Amino acid sequence: RRHRSQHGPHHADGDHLTFHIRNAKAKPYPLGLTLRDGGANIAVHSHAATHVDVVLFDKSDKQTWHHKLTQRDGDTHYAFVEGIKAEQRYGLRAFGPYDPASGHHFDGYKLLLDPFATAISGPFRYAAELSRHGNETAHLVPKAIAVTEQKPLPLRTLADPKLIYELNVRGFTMRHPDVSLHKRGTIAALAEPAIIKHFKKLGVDTIELMPIAAWIDERHLVNLGLRNAWAYNPVSMFAIDPRLAPGGLAELRDTISVLHDAGINVLLDVVFNHTGESDMLGPTLSQRGLDCTGYYRLFHGTNVNDAGTGNTLALDRPHTVHWILQAMRHWVLNAGVDGFRFDLATIMGREQQGFNPEAPLLQAIENDPVLSSRILIAEPWDIGPGGYQLGNFPRSWYEWNDKFRDDVRRFWRGDPWSSNNMATRIAGSSDVFANKGRPSRSINFITAHDGFTLHDLLHFTVKNNFANGEDNRDGKSHEVTCPGSKALGLLSSLLFARGTPMLTAGDEFGRTQGGNNNAYAQDNETTWLDWENRNTKLETQFADLMQLRHALSDVIADDFLTGTIVEWFAGDGNPLDWSKDNNRIIAMVLRSATRRVCVFFNGTSTATTLRVTPETGKLWHNLTGEDLDAPAQSVMVFEEVSRDEDSKTGNLLQ
- DSSP codes, 22-88: E---SSPPPSEEEEETTEEEEEEE-SS-SEEEEEEE-TT--EEEEEE--EEETTEEEEEEET--TT-
Tell me the C-alpha distance between 44 and 78, whole Å: 6
Percent of the chain's residues with pLDDT above 90:
92
**What ranges in 482-640 are assigned the alpha helix state H?**
487-495, 536-551
Q: Does 17 have pLDDT greater than 50? A: no
Q: Classify each residue of 400-422 as buried b or exposed e, where b means 16 or more C-beta atoms within 10 Å of its C-beta.
A: bbbbbbbbbbbbbbbbeebbbbb
pLDDT confidence band for 635 (50 / 70 / 90): very high
C-beta atoms surrounding 470 within 10 Å: 14
Nearest to 92 by CA among 8, 191, 19: 8
**Tens-digit pLDDT profile for residues 157-190:** 999 999 999 999 999 999 999 999 999 999 999 9
C-alpha 560/C-alpha 566 separation (Å) is 10
Q: What is the pLDDT of residue 615?
A: 93
Whether the per-residue pLDDT at 16 is higher than 50: the answer is no
Give the model's confidence band at 25: pLDDT under 50 very low, under 70 low, under 90 confident, else very high. Answer: low
Of 68, 58, 54, residue with least CA distance to 5: 68
Q: What are phi and psi of 253, to 5 degrees?
A: -60, -45
Which percentage of the chain shows pLDDT scores above 70?
Answer: 94
Specify the amino acid at residue 592: S
Q: What angle do CA 161, 449, 416 make, to 5 degrees?
A: 90
b or e along 30-46 (b: 16 or more beta carbons within 10 Å of the residue's beta carbon)? ebbbbbeeebbbbbbbb
Helix (H) or strand (E) holding 206: strand 206-209
Q: What digits encode the pLDDT tens for the residues 112-156?
A: 999 999 999 999 999 999 999 999 999 999 999 999 999 999 999
Q: What is the rounded average pLDDT for all residues in the chain?
A: 94
pLDDT tens digit string along 357-370? 999 999 999 999 99
Residue 151: its H or E element? none
Mean pLDDT of 515-543: 98
Which residues are 89's β-sheet partners?
Answer: 57, 145
In degrees, rounded to 5, the angle at the alpha carbon of residue 250 between the alpha carbons of residues 213 and 182 is 80
Mapping DSSP to helix (H, G, I), strand (E, B) and coil, where does residue 265 land? strand
pLDDT of residue 10 exceeding 70, the answer is no
Residue 6: band (very low, low, confident or very high) from pLDDT cuts 50, 70, 90? very low
CA dist 305 and 472 (Å) reads 22
Q: What is the DSSP letter of 155?
A: P
Note the pLDDT of residue 170: 98
Instruction: Measure the CA–CA gap between 115 and 326, rounded to whole angstroms.
Output: 11
Q: Rounded mean pLDDT of 200-222? A: 97
d(CA 512, CA 459): 10
| More confident: 19 or 570 | 570
pTM as predicted: 0.95
Cite the active site residues: 343, 379
**What confidence score (pLDDT) does residue 23 get?**
58
CB 545 within 8 A of CB 495: yes
- Taking the C-alpha atoms of residue 481 and residue 414, their distance in angstroms, rounded to an integer, is 11
**Cα distance between residue 275 and residue 181, in whole Å:** 32
For 13-29, b/e burial (b = at least 16 CB within 10 A) is eeeeeebebeebeeebb
Q: What are the distances in angstroms from CA 613 to CA 214, 566, 569, 589, 623?
A: 59, 15, 10, 11, 17
How much is the pLDDT for 27? 60
CA 17 to chain centre: 44
